Amino acid sequence: MGTRFQRHWKTTLLPILLGLLILFLDALFAPDGREKGVLRLVFNLIILGIGTGFWLGFFSQFILPVNQLRDRLNMFFHLISYLIGDHGPILFIENGQIRQQPQSSSGAGIMVLDTASAAMLRTSHRFTRPVGPGVVFTQPGERIADVVDLRQQRQVIGPRPNEDPFAPPQPNEGPAQYEARMRRKRETRAITRDNFEIIPQIEVIFQLDARPGQGNTEFGYNPDAVQMAILGQVVNADLPLDTPARLIPWNELPAQLAAEVWRDLVSRFTLQQIFPAQPSRHQQVGLQWIVQMIQNRLTQPEVPLLDLDGRDTGEKTVSREFNVLSSRGIRVLEVNILSLRLSPEVERELINRWGAGWLAWARQEREQIERERRNLAEGAREEALRVYAKTSTLYFEALPSPNPHTEEAVDPKDQARSILLRLLRGHLMLIQNRPGLKTMASDEKKQIQDLIEIFETRAP
């Protein structure tokens, strides 16, 4: 407090002391006597104290957006602490980032977090509590342990799009740059069952496990998820104890788990199984199956159990990766495998194999498509005939049946005219009820209407 007192005495305490000195001298040398001067001093001190407290309380309500009575009182006491130099750090956190470095003071402070930010607080010997969007009043000795971004996050590991992980050191590439390129290569390097190397970029989209709107923020704030994510951060035991990078950030875990699953699945397949010469149009094979399995193991509690050759055994098993993410308060939304890299020799072999088999595969696909087209055309033709027959004969349901007990003969011409009118009305209804026919057969519709009118006017 001594250092902070020295920093604030000129701006805060010195004017107060000068004011008190003036009041004391006024009372001491009062022209109407020292007794009245002392009474006036006491009265002025009382008015000064009440007025100072009132105006400090009044203006403290407009410094930060607080609504509850407890927060208003906290704001008043924090303002007094600030005036006497006994306050803690005042921090603004935006999009999971601290806008300025925390101050070294250990007094009670204030944090303002936007709707996309949350944090975990701690003292010198223990973690205290998670805090979310809004105004937070910290206790003496509390400081930020870590901050998190509540929005959806995207992490990509592996080689960059414009670099070749198999290339030797380049003339314009220093040792540090080459080592960084090799490190990115090792992040996603996988070996197939027949000992071929495949290196992709892996993209993972994730966020802390919270419902949208939870915690009065559109991104969702779950204090348990924030606490699990920060307290569950992994320690890299291979690095020295005093290295800041020894503690792996929570948002790097999903991509690392995706890379582990990628390596495990690729090791169960051969290169030909992953990149078949004739891909199937009706089921997932090879790379598609691997990507789907990675997605399942990071997003579902149970997944299909595979044997050592990558075949589905028909049984279910618990997803270890999903449980690890859940225990850290993390929910994975999507996993993508991007920019697959193969060694130049393997890539040439695949291209040659595809070039040799593409014509046969294309012919098979053409024959399959032609069969499907014929089946669809035949089905459509039969359906059209059924609709035509049903609609055209709809008016025959009202055709009177002949009475065998009557001796009156039916005129064949009248019977033919009646049948023809019913057929024409059925055709007219078919055209009117089908928008496509109504547009295409407008002339035929007019001819049918004319025929109906002719036969109706010539009826006996």
pLDDT by residue for the chain (460 residues), tens digit each? 445 545 555 556 666 677 777 767 766 666 666 666 677 777 777 877 787 777 767 766 766 776 676 776 777 677 667 666 667 778 889 998 888 655 656 777 788 889 999 999 998 889 999 999 988 888 888 888 899 999 999 999 999 988 889 889 988 888 999 999 999 999 999 999 988 999 999 999 999 999 888 888 889 999 999 999 998 887 766 666 666 666 788 999 999 999 999 999 999 988 888 887 665 554 556 788 899 999 999 999 999 888 887 778 888 999 999 999 999 999 999 999 988 888 888 888 777 766 656 666 667 767 778 888 888 888 888 887 787 777 767 666 555 555 555 555 556 766 677 777 777 777 777 777 777 666 777 777 777 777 777 767 765 5
- The H helix count followed by the E strand count for the chain is 14, 15
Q: Give the H/E segment covering residue 82.
A: helix 69-83
Q: Is residue 52 part of a domain?
A: yes
Residue 369 in domain: no
Establish if 212 belongs to a structural domain.
yes
Give the whole-angstrom CA distance, residue 234 versus residue 374. Answer: 60
- Do the domain assignments include residue 97? yes
- Asked, for residue 362, whether it belongs to a domain, the answer is no
302 and 220 inside one domain: yes
Whether 232 and 315 map to the same domain: the answer is: yes
Task: State whether 309 and 193 are in the same domain.
Answer: yes
What is the tally of structural domains in the chain?
Answer: 4
Domain boundary among 85, 105, 136: 85
The confidence score (pLDDT) of residue 404 equals 56
Report residue 156: phi and psi, to 5°. -125, 130
Residues 60 and 103 in one domain: no
Predicted local confidence at residue 336, as pLDDT: 93
Scan for tokens 């209804």, then name that residue: 429
pLDDT of residue 354: 65
Would 220 be classed as within a structural domain? yes
Q: Are residues 301 and 272 in the same domain?
A: yes
Cβ neighbours of 161 (radius 10 Å): 9
Domain annotation covers residue 136: yes
335/189 same-domain check: yes
**Neighbouring-strand partners of residue 338:** 201
* Cβ contact 137:63 at 8 Å: no
CATH assignment at residue 247: 3.30.479.30
Same domain, 141 and 157: no
Token look-up 């309380």 returns: 57
Contact present, 113 and 138 (Cβ < 8 Å): no
* 184 φ/ψ angles, rounded to the nearest 5 degrees: -65, -35
Tokens of 409: 């003969």
**What pLDDT, in 10s, does the model give residues 47-72?**
777 877 777 677 667 667 766 767 76
Residue 319 DSSP SS3: coil
Say if CB 211 and CB 315 are below 8 A apart: no
User: What is the model's pLDDT at position 275?
Assistant: 82
Asked whether residue 33 falls in the same domain as residue 10, the answer is yes
| Shared-domain flag, residues 204 and 113 | no
- Examine the domain organization and report whether 296 and 435 are in the same domain: no
Note down the domain range covering 336.
153-166+177-342
Tell whether 275 and 198 lie within a shared domain: yes
Angle at 209 (CA atoms; ends 208, 211), nearest 5 degrees: 115
Indicate the residue among 34, 60, 85 that finishes a domain: 85
CB-CB neighbours of 38 under 10 Å: 14
Kindly give the pairing relationship between strand 134-137 and strand 97-98.
unpaired
- Contacts with 270 (C-beta within 8 Å, 6 or more apart), sequence order: 192, 193, 194
DSSP string computed for 189-236? -EE-TTS-EEEEEEEEEEEES--TTTTSSTT---HHHHHHHHHTPEE-
Residue where a domain terminates, one of 85, 107, 130: 85
Instruction: Determine the Cα–Cα distance for residues 116 and 114; give it in Å rounded to an integer.
Output: 6
The Cα 79–Cα 136 span in angstroms is 14
